[in-house]
Amino acid sequence: MIVMSIAGVDPSGGAGVFADLKTFQAIGVYGCGIVTALTAQNPYKFFSTMPVSPEYIEEQIDSVMDSYEVEFIKTGMLYSPEIIELVSKKVKEYRLKAVVDPVMVATSGGDLTKEDIADAFNKYLLPQSILTTPNVSEAEKLSGIDINTKEDAIKACEKIRCNSIITGGHLDGINTININGNVTTIKQKLIETENLHGTGCNLSSAIVAHLAKGNDLKTSIVKSLDYVYEGIKNGNYGTLIAKI
């Protein structure tokens, strides 16, 4: 079971590719990491971004696919429309099952994109992905719907162009899930903490790991919500402490 993360590097290790690899390991699958951009940041302050060229991202993907069989991938920070287009081309070429975390802004407030990339997600990547995992503000950008209530989240979830979970951290803990047009909600208790850096990265990578272990999409989502919740509660997600 080999899975792949295509995302940016957070050198402080809480988000991005490094966090994804820890989550893959914690759940018991082997992870590869394709780097789309370096960043200089810590959980509280974002300094700068140095993107990798689409050509070199393609070379990284091809070099891994040359010798590994990968079925499930997650994408995180993709930075520009050009990188989104490239990644969607590779998803098609290798028939990858992609979980897309439509990353746009870091928890610390840093800009993880060159420009508005919601249109590129909608046009290129979401139509051929198995799931996307936006938070409320990302879901607003993808759907064009303002989300203030559970009903708004349901509408947005139905409008987004693939299966989706709109995470509930900014909506009273209500996660809204649309799988093949069947919309459900799962409410989690909110935990008061300053330590939320990388939770979105860890959710999408946990889902990929559980899918690779043979779970269906709904089960993978439920187990991963639990994994991230336990991590936040313990102030230390991405390690073996979580119930998996």
Q: Where does this chain bind ligand PXL (CB under 6 A)?
A: 7-8, 10, 15-16, 39, 41, 76-77, 103, 106-107, 112, 198, 200-201
Residue 35 CB, shortest distance to ligand PXL, in Å, is 9
CA distance 104 to 112: 5
Closest contact distance (angstroms) between CB of 147 and ligand PXL is 19
Question: Residue 141 Cβ, how far from ligand PXL at the closest point, in Å?
Answer: 14
Q: Count each helix (H run) and each strand (E run) in the chain, helices first.
A: 8, 9
**Least separation, in Å, of the C-beta of 7 and ligand PXL?**
5
Query: 106 or 177, CB closer to ligand PXL?
Result: 106
Task: Cite the DSSP H helix spans in the chain.
Answer: 16-27, 54-65, 81-93, 118-120, 136-143, 150-159, 199-212, 217-234
Decide whether 149 or 191 has the Cβ nearer to ligand PXL: 191
Q: Please, what sign has the CA dihedral across residues 142, 3, 39, 10?
A: positive
Using the 8-state DSSP alphabet, how is residue 92 labeled? H
Q: Which is nearer to ligand PXL, 69 or 194 (CB)?
A: 194
- Of residues 35 and 217, the one with the C-beta less far from ligand PXL: 35
We find the least distance from the C-beta atom of residue 88 to ligand PXL, in angstroms, to be 18
Cα 103 from Cα 22, distance rounded (Å)? 19
Which residue, among 173, 109, 168, has the nearest Cα to 139 in the 3D structure?
A: 168
Indicate the residue among 19 and 242 with the shorter CB distance to ligand PXL. Answer: 19
Min dist. Cβ of residue 199 to ligand PXL (A): 7
Nearer to ligand PXL, 10 or 152 (CB): 10
Q: How far is it, in rounded angstroms, from Cα 233 to Cα 18?
A: 21
Closest CA to 237 of 32, 5, 43: 43
Angle formed by the axes of helices 199-212 and 16-27, nearest 10°: 40
